Amino acid sequence: MSFTGQVEVRRSTKRRRTVSAYRDGDRVVVLIPARFSAAEERDWVERMVARVNGTTRRGPAGDVELAKRAAELSARYLNGQARPSTVRWVPAMRSRWASCTPDEGSIRLSRRLLTMPAWVQDYVLVHELAHLLEAGHGPDFWALVARYPRTERARGYLDGVSAAAHLPIADDLADDLGSDEDLDSATG
């Protein structure tokens, strides 16, 4: 490892398989599952420090470019208030287009989005940026997302892609609606 700054390793019992890292001033913070052995920790720390320092290959279309795009969208639609620590492309997710960890400030976009129009990618970025300001899918969150002018069109596009490809990617409004049983009892 050629990194000369400090490295802080944080173990979490909630973290099962994923490892992530971000720069915090002159140090790199690496987040790992608590169950990792010392050898696994050393291996992952080395990999993640290299990734954060840009000594490994960047994701498609460039994580740096993606971070710049996120900053532009935050400035344009969220008054620059959403400031992610990392924004990166990740391998195709099974049940999401993207994810955000507000506590870490990290945003991950599925590579499935790479083949979609830029305005759809921008919607997904705005959606995840809004999670940095409002964690859930409540009214305040949707008010932030609605600032992006193509929100409804992009949501329809993503729903159509999911349905056509039989992807198990659920509509994010389902979080707010509850189960069908709850809806039946509320309307019946």
105 falls within a domain:
yes
Kindly state whether residue 73 falls inside one of the protein's structural domains. Answer: yes
Q: Residue 23: how many CA atoms within 13 Å on its side-chain side? A: 13
pLDDT, residue 107, reads: 95
Domain membership flag for residue 183? no
Q: Same structural domain for residues 26 and 75? A: no
Shared domain check, 42 and 133: no
- In angstroms, the CA 127 to CA 37 distance is 36
In a domain, 1, yes or no: no
Q: Which domain holds residue 10?
A: 6-52
When divided into structural domains, the chain yields a total of 2
At residue 183 the predicted structure's pLDDT band, cuts being 50, 70 and 90, is very low
Alpha-carbon gap, residue 67 to 74, rounded angstroms: 10
Average pLDDT over residues 146-166: 92
Residues 25 and 71 in one domain: no
- Residue 137: give its domain's CATH number: 3.30.2010.10
Q: Do 86 and 141 share a structural domain? A: yes
Helix or strand or coil: residue 33? strand
Average pLDDT score over the chain: 82
- Give the per-residue pLDDT at 121: 93
**10 and 79 inside one domain:** no
Residue 134 lies in a domain: yes
- Check whether residue 70 and residue 101 sit in a common domain: yes
Domain shared by 87 and 168, yes or no: yes
Domain assignment present for 188? no
Kindly state whether residues 46 and 136 are assigned to the same domain.
no
CB 113 within 8 Å of CB 120 = yes
pLDDT (tens digit per residue) in 87-132: 998 888 888 899 999 999 999 998 888 888 899 999 999 999 999 9
Residue 185 belongs to some domain of the structure: no
Secondary structure letter of residue 58 according to DSSP: P
pTM to 2 decimal places: 0.62
Q: Are residues 42 and 68 in the same domain?
A: no
Query: What confidence tens digit (pLDDT) does each residue in 34-81 have?
Result: 998 888 888 888 878 877 776 544 444 468 889 999 999 999 999 999
112, part of any domain: yes
Same domain, 84 and 109: yes
Reference 128, options 106, 111, 143; nearest CA is 106
Q: What is the pLDDT of residues 10-35, one digit of tens each?
A: 999 988 878 888 888 788 889 999 99
Task: Please say if the pLDDT value at position 173 is more than 70.
Answer: no
pLDDT at position 54, please? 62
Who wins on pLDDT, 78 or 135? Answer: 78
pLDDT, position 4? 56
Percent of the chain with pLDDT over 90: 43
Same domain flag for 40 and 114:
no
